[in-house]
Amino acid sequence: MDSRTFGLFSTLLLTSSVAWADISGTVVNGQDNMPIAGAEVRLQADESSPVAITNAAGEFTLPVNPGEPVTIAGALPYDPDATENYFSNTAFAINGQTDVVIGLRPFPITDNPSYEPPTSFLCNACHGEQHEQWSASRHAGAGVNPWVLDLHSGGGTPGGSAGYVFRDTHDPGETGFCAVCHNALEDVFDPGNVQMNEVTSASALEGVNCLTCHHIGEVDEDNINGLHHFGGKTQYRFPAEIEQTTAFQVFGPLPDMESAIMYGVYNPLFESSRMCASCHQYNNPDTGAPGQNTYAEWLASPFAQPGPGFRSCQDCHMPAAEEPGPLTQIGSVVRPGSQRHAHDVVGATPETLSAAITLTVNAEQQGDEIVVTAAVFNSTGHAFPTGVSIRNAMLAVDVRADGLLLTQTDGPQIPFYGSDEVPGVQPGDLAGTPGKGFAKVLQGRINGQGAPVEPVLFIDAETTSADTLIPAASTDTSIYRFAVPAGFSGDVSIDTRLLYRRAWRALAVTKGWTVTPGGMPVEIEVASDQRTVAVESGFNLRSIPTLGLPALALLMLTLGLLTWRRWR
């Protein structure tokens, strides 16, 4: 082999060995350089990166061969029961490097006793895109939600003092636990004892703001029906200011954050539906009657099962971005869309409801009747409707011939909550008409006194008197029969509507609610179906009047006389 051939061979061999080299090193405690076992190591902002787990000596080997210098990230998943947790961090590395050291700062084990959570405008300074999205969400209005204030203390809207007002009907000092979720960053410092209409903290008045979520370390699965942090369900952490201010020490879903302005703890909880159970799953603390049951509804759904059909709450309500981009507007690494999630947390709107709930109707003539079959399919990952118990829906079936309503002979009718409590029938009153209601009706005694009434809010609930919610990925089918008038020929019109109401009709009318706190209509038409059935024969046995005994005797006597005269 000549020198030129040998040199080319050596170059190729060297290039090949570098191209296939791994990156290795250690993850250590940034204070004492002690190794950290169980840490996850990956390429930063690379959704296709392999993940290496450090051994007992803190060592890792990452099987990558980048063509240029890269950023390697290390993070130890947060464990609320561990004696030590760490902020994630990064380090630079080149292809084949074997001595990479990633130092993780320890997460303080004590909290800041004088911490006053700032408002979301602190976060807006860097996270403008997320703040703008959040500002349009119902989370942003939760702290001053006028409907909740109407129900709690009567002062949310001009007519809010009418009808049920919690503070007017309950013992002094009782809070109803509204502030537990709606003003969490004030209530958390005095759990369960804050009156919603007396909240003064600027951060708490923002409702469910940035730090309301990003200071949450754990939601206890064993206490999932508890009331938020009240009773120990949700663990909030406000880290002591050792190296960084408390507001800049947060939890989040990304395992590859550098410790710079923000110190982030990688917390897989943020990708779990259990995170949402902090507020969207609770019972009456005294009776166990259900308040919100959304998380349990999801757990029972096909969406909670591992596999290609799995969907978390975040997958639907905080979807990933379609394009890559930064998380901040100042010097942030560009991340794939899968690491950038919407923060407007869209729920029930005319658009989302129409996309998620399907109405299928069939109508036909069977003898002397029109038979209508209606199927409502719920494609969401929770019940329809879900959330607080004042939400309800109803299927209204209107069948007419020549503009006149046909008599219903069989099938369900809309329950009492389809109408208001004003004497007479008002536009929008549907109780007692053909159709079906979908709701969770709670029954109980107001303040534990008097006779049981329904519907009540969860705080007064002692039992569930009716639960006709449509489970996730399920279909509710109902059948209705209507008599065809005798002698009628022509078209019979069938108008079927599926309506979603944000509140019981009686409650909305009593309080004077005409739009939701988010500016949407109280009632949304989710789906509708209009069709006609051509009646071939109007002969209707049901429409023949029944003869009484005297008339029947007279008829028989007349027929007898006619027969006698004929044969005489």
Q: How confident is the model at residue 231 (pLDDT cuts 50, 70, 90)?
A: confident
In this structure, the answer to whether residues 491 and 370 fall within a common structural domain is: yes
Reference 107, options 297, 257, 289; nearest CA is: 257
In this structure, the answer to whether residues 232 and 335 fall within a common structural domain is: yes
Question: How much is the pLDDT for 21?
Answer: 78
In this structure, the answer to whether residues 142 and 79 fall within a common structural domain is: no
Residue 335 inside a domain? The answer is yes
Kindly state the tokens that stand for 558.
């007349």
Q: Does the pLDDT value for residue 154 go beyond 80?
A: yes
In this structure, the answer to whether residues 136 and 91 fall within a common structural domain is: no
The residue-averaged pLDDT of 290-298 equals: 97
Cα dihedral 512, 460, 382, 379, rounded to 10, equals -40
In this structure, the answer to whether residues 531 and 446 fall within a common structural domain is: yes
In this structure, the answer to whether residues 319 and 444 fall within a common structural domain is: no
Q: How confident is the model at residue 20 (pLDDT cuts 50, 70, 90)?
A: low
Q: Does the pLDDT value for residue 541 go beyond 60?
A: no
Residue 47 inside a domain? The answer is yes
Q: Does the pLDDT value for residue 266 go beyond 80?
A: yes
Burial label, 58 (beta-carbon count in 10 A; 0-12, 13-18, 19+): buried
In this structure, the answer to whether residues 375 and 516 fall within a common structural domain is: yes
In this structure, the answer to whether residues 49 and 100 fall within a common structural domain is: yes
Identify any residues that bridge with 89 across adjacent strands, giving them in sequence order.
Answer: 74
DSSP 459-527: GG--EEEEE-PBPTTEEEEEEEEEEPPTT--EEEEEEEEEEEESS-HHHHHHHT--B-TTS-BSEEEEE
The residue-averaged pLDDT of 46-72 equals: 97
DSSP assignment letter at 119: -
Residue 299 inside a domain? The answer is yes
Q: Does the pLDDT value for residue 76 go beyond 80?
A: yes
Question: How much is the pLDDT for 538?
Answer: 46
Residue 515 inside a domain? The answer is yes
In this structure, the answer to whether residues 170 and 94 fall within a common structural domain is: no
Question: How much is the pLDDT for 11?
Answer: 39
Average pLDDT along the chain: 92
Q: Does the pLDDT value for residue 559 go beyond 70?
A: no
Residue 53 CB-half CA count within 13 A: 3
Instruction: Give the residue numbers spanning the domain of 355.
Output: 350-543
Question: How much is the pLDDT for 2?
Answer: 44
Residue 558 inside a domain? The answer is no
Q: Does the pLDDT value for residue 416 go beyond 90?
A: yes
Question: How much is the pLDDT for 537?
Answer: 64
Q: How confident is the model at residue 331 (pLDDT cuts 50, 70, 90)?
A: confident
In this structure, the answer to whether residues 184 and 293 fall within a common structural domain is: yes
Q: In whole angstroms, give the CA distance from residue 327 to residue 333.
A: 8
Q: In whole angstroms, give the CA distance from residue 417 to residue 414.
A: 8
Question: How much is the pLDDT for 4?
Answer: 41
In this structure, the answer to whether residues 386 and 515 fall within a common structural domain is: yes
In this structure, the answer to whether residues 266 and 329 fall within a common structural domain is: yes
The count of structural domains within the chain is 3
DSSP assignment letter at 423: S
The residue-averaged pLDDT of 197-226 equals: 97
Share of the chain above pLDDT 70, in %: 91
